[in-house]
Amino acid sequence: QVQLVESGGGLVQAGGSLRLSCAASGRTFGSYAMAWFRQAPGKEREFVADIRWSGGSTYYADSVKGRFTISGDNAKNTLYLQMSSLKPEDTAVYYCALRAPPYYGDPSAWGRPDDYNYWGQGTQVTVSS
């Protein structure tokens, strides 16, 4: 029904930059928000940033605030994450996520994996020291 495909990951030195992209296709009409999460080996999946189409508000994890910028186009079903001043601790698989109908979760809850009902396969980002 809905497919999310991430791209743009890779290997970069500390202090460098990368831009991730996510393309959504399928039944995305009426989507509420899109987000980026990441998961490092042995760790839980964690929220990075999201953008809520109603009003265009963006939110960031404290760990990336000031270094990462999320942007997107609801009409084109695309999402981006511009990452700058990368650190080795940013190394993880980065996932694109979408909240779209039919969504049966808490509409006021954000920032947890359960708050998004469609996921991409992820793209690896490795930051070397």
Kindly indicate the confidence band of residue 27, based on its pLDDT and cuts at 50, 70 and 90: confident
Q: Which long-range contacts (CB under 8 A, 24 or more apart) does 20-25 make?
A: 20/80, 20/81, 20/83, 20/94, 20/96, 20/123, 20/125, 21/78, 21/79, 21/80, 22/78, 22/79, 22/80, 22/96, 22/120, 23/77, 23/78, 24/77, 24/78, 24/79, 24/96, 24/98, 24/118, 25/77
pLDDT digits (tens, 9 = 90+) for 31-69: 899 999 999 999 999 999 999 988 889 999 999 999 999
> What's residue 77's pLDDT?
86
Q: What is the mean pLDDT of residues 8-35?
A: 94
The predicted structure's pLDDT at residue 56: 86
Structure tokens given for 64: 């990336």
Which pLDDT does position 70 carry in this prediction?
97
List the single range of 23-32, 62-71, 84-93 with lowest mean pLDDT: 23-32
Confidence check: pLDDT of 75 > 90: no
* pLDDT for the residue numbered 54: 86
